[in-house]
Structure 1
Amino acid sequence: MDIAHHLAVSAISRNYHDLSSDTVEATVASLIDSLACALGGASAPGLDEARRALGRWGDSGCTVWGGFGQMPAPFAAFLNAGSLHALDYDDTDDKVPLHANSVVLPALIADLEENRPDCDGREFLTALAVGLDSAMRIGRAGGPKGSRGWNYSVISGCMGAVLSIARLRKWDAETTVSALGHQLAQTAGSLQSIIDGSLAKRFQPALMAKDVLMSASLAEAGIDGPRNVFEGRAGFFGLYQDGSFDRDSMLPGLESCSLVNDLSLKPYPSCRFTHAPIDLALQLYQRGLRPDDISQIRIRVSGQAVNMVGRDYDCQSAGVVDAQFSISYTVAVALLRGAVRLGDFTLESIGNPMVGRFASEKVLIEANPDVGFLGMVPVEFHVELNNGSPFYIATEMVSGSPEMRMTESQLRSKVLDCLEFNGSRLSADDFIKAANTLKDGASVKNFLRLLK
């Protein structure tokens, strides 16, 4: 039997009390983190244009977060996913990597508003945990072939989103498998938007969030989808993972959504592959080194890090996405300013000639063959100072990971950064407090009012 059936049965069987306290806390933290990112990104480049483009299809239905009214559920999910992912500040599963919430959360909340508006907090958190865990489980199953150019945030995230909605709506297994099949029929996601530095990148999870709601509607209407979703000849694993996957690895912990505990929250608003280099650059800053002290930094990272964030940086032509996906730029910012924040990714900031010169002239990125292709760490800095002295520094951990979790204070600072960046009047403390009441079964409807 295709593993879609096992995933479906597990998803619809989950109860709040199946989740450990650590998993509940991780789910709530990811909710706070993701919605803060969405509110911060609601006016990012491309979002105003997207709202105008989609506005022709209606202005009622579900909330467009950040005070932008309502739209039909699929388009509200699209816009909310776009704002959540726009700043590249949203969570990651470092093992894949993928942004689990980027598809799961916007699709789930739009479906909740439309179909279960009186859902309580524990039901909602259970559905969210199911979706996040499933997205991560599917993404990890094949040791993903990132070098082929698939965007695992979207192709795995959308499957997790379907399973979260199945749990929310309390479907049977047959309807759930059918919805997964419909999603397979329309899933796609290329990394070319990142390679080309285009704004399309931030709308790829958005397209899948929209499509998930379509898949859910078709399945609930009784239109059957493919049944052999993952293991069929043209199923998910054959298409996206060359038919090579570890089926058995998908099952342990499924009954408790344990992979949610592995989700990393990002301390910096840039591609996750830039985070370990930023950590090291900040260590250099704390030791008193500044760009003017350095002749060259040779940075050794994984092959995928080179592909994603290791390209030459040209401040004359770079756009926001280029800066978000540049080790050279983010390291230069960290060395100059001692922090990497949202304000460093505006068109004005990325055109700073001092940062641009250092990034383009003094930073050399190369692949370390001793690091696994998809590895975030280890990362090495071989630094040559202007006085001729060599300096070496390295790390085998990356901040925000399960090994170096953000503290409550750090998460609050991130929420403040997001809200202040977009001029939101929402109180960070009220927002965090309201999210935590969901653990006690508080109304989701009351919490979601904060997003309007």
Structure 2
Amino acid sequence: MDLAYRLGSIAASRSFNDLAPMTVDTTIDALIDSLACALAGTNAPGLAQARGALRRWGNTGVSVWGGFGQAPAPIAAFLNAGSMHALDYDDTDDKVPLHANSVVLPALLADLEENRADCSGHVFLTALAVGLDGAMRVGRAGGPKGSRGWNYSVISGGMGAVLAIANLRRWDTDMTVSALGHQLAQTAGSLQSIIDGTLAKRFQPAMMAKNVLLSAALAQANVDGPRNVFEGKAGFIRLYQDGEFDRDFIETGLDRCALVEDLSLKPYPACRFTHAPIDLALQMHAQGIRPGDVKQIRIRVSAQAVNMVGRRFDSNTANVVDAQFSIAYCVATALERGTLQIADFSEASVRDARIGAFAANHITIETNDTVPFLGMVPVRFDVRLTNGQELEFSASEVSGSPAKRMTPSQLRAKVADCLSFNQVRFNADEMLFKVGQLRANAPMSTVLALLA
């Protein structure tokens, strides 16, 4: 039988007792991180326009996070996913790479608020872990195909979100497979929005979150979707994975949602490929080096990093998305300021002529052919100072990854930055406490009220 049957049967039957304590902890941390990112992004460029454009389809249903009223569940999921992904601050699975929560969480919470608003914390955390694990598992089993131009946050995230809803609704296997089939029928995701530096990038997971709810509605109404979702002649594996897929990988830890423990949380609000270079820039700053001390920084990274974040930065024409996807801008800013926060990606900051000039004229970015195509590390800096001294800096791990996790204090600082940036009416400690109470099976209604 098609792989969808195996994924569907396991996903729908998982319970909280199947999750290891570490899986529960990482699911909660990822939830806190994602909701903070969403609340910070509600007024990011493009979000107000999107709310205005979609208002015509109704203002009742489920919450549009951040105090923007309500909307029909698919529209609310779209808007909430857009705000979560807008600042490029949301979690990643570095090995694909993909933003696991960007589709799974907005779709799942919209479905929950519409159909099971009295849901317990344990039930919700189980469904979320199933969805995150499913998105990561599908992405990793096929291996990254970023060179083809696919956006795996969108492609794999949609499959994970369906599995999360199947678990929440306790569907049987056939209905889950049908919903996965409907999701296949409407899956697409191009990286061109990143290449062109457009705001469409932040709405790609949003499109898929909306579509997941439509897939669920069709399956629930007994409108059958394709059954050979993964292994069919025009299935997921052939279309998106060039026919290459490690089916055995799917099985390892599937019953425990073990991959959630591999999720990375981002310490900086920029593309994940910029993070190791930012780490090194902050290391330079900590040693007392400032842009005025530097004649040249030669940065060597993977080929995909060059493709996505290695273009020359021009502060005269750059927008916020360009800055989020620029190693040169991120390194120049971190070296100058000793930090990199949301405010560093405002229109005014992106237009800073001094930082822009340093990024354009003193930083070069090259491919290191010894690094795997999609590798985020190792990264190397060859630095020449104005006094003639030459220095080397290198990174073999990325901050926020499982090997270099954010500490509780770092996560709290990130949440505080997110909430203060958008003047949210509750503080980081309140949010950490209420979401953390889900571990003790507190009702989800308390979290939903906070988001509304």
TM class by smaller structure: over 0.9
SS at match of 1:141: helix
Query: What is the aligned partner in structure 1 of residue 97 from structure 2?
Result: 97
Query: What is the aligned partner in structure 1 of residue 66 from structure 2?
Result: 66
Cα deviation, residue 20, structure 1: 0.5
Deviates further, 48-57 or 380-389: 380-389
Question: Which residues of structure 1 form unaligned runs of 5+?
Answer: none
Query: What is the aligned partner in structure 2 of residue 12 from structure 1?
Result: 12
Distance in 2, Cα, partners of 1:35 & 1:418 = 9
Letter of the 1:287 counterpart:
Q
Query: What is the aligned partner in structure 2 of residue 309 from structure 1?
Result: 309
Distance in 1, Cα, partners of 2:142 & 2:368 = 23
Query: What is the aligned partner in structure 2 of residue 446 from structure 1?
Result: 446
Cα deviation, residue 341, structure 1: 0.3
Query: What is the aligned partner in structure 1 of residue 283 from structure 2?
Result: 283
Distance in 2, Cα, partners of 1:7 & 1:290 = 52
Identity percentage of aligned residues: 67
Query: What is the aligned partner in structure 2 of residue 321 from structure 1?
Result: 321
Q: How does 1:164-203 map to 2 (within 5 A)?
A: 164-203=164-203
SS at match of 1:188: coil
Deviation readout 1:178-232 (Å, 9 max, x if unpaired): 0000000000000000001000000000000000000000001001100110111
Query: What is the aligned partner in structure 2 of residue 241 from structure 1?
Result: 241
Q: How does 1:38-437 map to 2 (within 5 A)?
A: 38-437=38-437
Letter of the 2:118 counterpart:
D
Distance in 1, Cα, partners of 2:447 & 2:138 = 30
**TM-score after normalising by structure 2:** 1.00
SS at match of 1:67: coil
Distance in 1, Cα, partners of 2:440 & 2:177 = 31
Letter of the 1:188 counterpart:
A
Question: Which residues of structure 2 form unaligned runs of 5+?
Answer: none
Cα deviation, residue 446, structure 1: 1.6
Deviation readout 1:144-171 (Å, 9 max, x if unpaired): 2101100000000010000000000000
Cα deviation, residue 287, structure 1: 0.6
Deviation readout 1:118-175 (Å, 9 max, x if unpaired): 1100000000000000000001111121011000000000100000000000000000
Deviation readout 1:62-92 (Å, 9 max, x if unpaired): 0000000000000000000000000000000
Deviation readout 1:324-355 (Å, 9 max, x if unpaired): 00000000001000000000001000000111
Letter of the 1:140 counterpart:
R
Distance in 2, Cα, partners of 1:274 & 1:286 = 18
Deviation readout 1:351-373 (Å, 9 max, x if unpaired): 00111001111110011110011
Letter of the 1:4 counterpart:
A
Distance in 2, Cα, partners of 1:315 & 1:238 = 41
Over the aligned positions, Cα root-mean-square deviation in angstroms equals 0.5
Distance in 2, Cα, partners of 1:273 & 1:76 = 30
Distance in 2, Cα, partners of 1:180 & 1:224 = 10
Distance in 1, Cα, partners of 2:251 & 2:189 = 26
Distance in 2, Cα, partners of 1:381 & 1:32 = 33
Distance in 1, Cα, partners of 2:299 & 2:3 = 41
SS at match of 2:142: coil
**TM-score after normalising by structure 1:** 1.00
Distance in 2, Cα, partners of 1:249 & 1:367 = 30
SS at match of 1:382: strand
Distance in 1, Cα, partners of 2:327 & 2:66 = 31
Distance in 1, Cα, partners of 2:363 & 2:236 = 39
Distance in 2, Cα, partners of 1:311 & 1:239 = 29
Could you list the structure 1 runs, at least 4 aligned residues long, displaced by more than 2 angstroms after superposition.
none
Distance in 2, Cα, partners of 1:184 & 1:274 = 31
Cα deviation, residue 101, structure 1: 0.2
Paired residues, number: 452
